[in-house]
Amino acid sequence: MRVALFLTCVNDTLYPDTGRAVVRLLTRLGVDVDFPVGQTCCGQAHYNTGYRHEAEPLARRFAEVFGGYEAVVTPSGSCGAMVRELYPRMGERARAEGRGGALAAALAPVVPRTYELTEFLVDVLGVTDVGASYPHTVTYHPTCHGLRGLGLGDRPLRLLRAVKGLDLRELPGAEECCGFGGTFALKNPDVSAAMGADKVRSAESTGAEVLCAADNSCLMHLGGTMARLRTGMRPVHIAEILASTEEDPLS
């Protein structure tokens, strides 16, 4: 199976380790991974801040770059939700505003073939035990767009529970937003920071060493908050935990 990795601009620029982990993990599972270099950004920040028209060309580009693949995999719940939930809406709005159905038509085949990483593992590959080993205490934060936008459910937890040596701690108030919210973090910094601090404190209360999520944007906000609050916890993307093995452990 030949799949395209849609890494997202944040991961590409700031979290290349997550991308490498996805490649390692999928290759280990026998998947042929390609990274189309024409990819850039899903346009989520534009769309959600009110610049829908700036996001449209990026959606069109997405359709062009990823159109020819059997499946597209992304290690980001929010960018995954952007593609699956909001791209079709953008296509419909373009049509309704008399700009034709070209965008909707271009997106139609690629949108349903786009998967968030844990979804792809569980639903498409049909695995929950990916042969990983990670002997640490971990608590998992289900990010909002993964939870409500994509409906990831307990897929990430099932994957984590199957990891050798991993001690999974339940996160109190797990379904509460961490306060990142893209440009919300800049436009409403006080509320955003208060939400982040509360999330970090409840993660800390579990006694876990690692806070795991399936979205580096939220982890960037939470990791930055942890560092400032000097909690000693680390933010780690789920892909890196799932890529970690006994022979080649995540340091």
Range 75-114, binding other proteins (CB under 8 A): 89
**Closer residue to other proteins (CB): 135 or 154:** 154
- State the nearest-atom distance from the C-beta of 118 to other proteins, in Å: 18
248 binds other proteins (CB under 8 A): no
Query: Judged by CB under 8 A, which stretch of 5-13, 98-106, 109-117, 156-164 contacts other proteins?
Result: 5-13
**Closer residue to other proteins (CB): 32 or 246:** 32
Strand-by-strand arrangement of the 210-213 sheet: 167-169, 137-140, 210-213, 234-237
Report the site for other proteins in 8-47 (rule: CB under 8 A). 9, 11-17, 19-20, 23-24, 27, 33-35, 37-41, 43, 45-47
- State the nearest-atom distance from the C-beta of 205 to other proteins, in Å: 15
Report the site for other proteins in 172-231 (rule: CB under 8 A). 175-177, 179-197, 220-221, 223-225, 227-228
**Closer residue to other proteins (CB): 13 or 164:** 13
Question: Residues in contact with other proteins, total (CB under 8 A)?
Answer: 71
- State the nearest-atom distance from the C-beta of 174 to other proteins, in Å: 12
Report the site for other proteins in 138-167 (rule: CB under 8 A). 144-145, 148-149
Output the DSSP codes for the chain: -EEEE---HHHHHH-HHHHHHHHHHHHHTT-EEE--TT-----HHHHHHT-HHHHHHHHHHHHHHHTT-SEEEES-HHHHHIIIIIHHHHHHHHHHTTS-SHHHHHHTTTGGGEEEHHHIIIIIS--S----B--SEEEE---HIIIIIS--TTHHHHHHHTSBT-EEEPPTTTTS--S-TTTHHHHSHHHHHHHHHHHHHHHHTTT-SEEEES-HHHHHHHHHHHHHHT---EEEEHHHHHH--SSS---
Report the site for other proteins in 49-68 (rule: CB under 8 A). 49-55, 57-58, 61
- State the nearest-atom distance from the C-beta of 145 to other proteins, in Å: 8
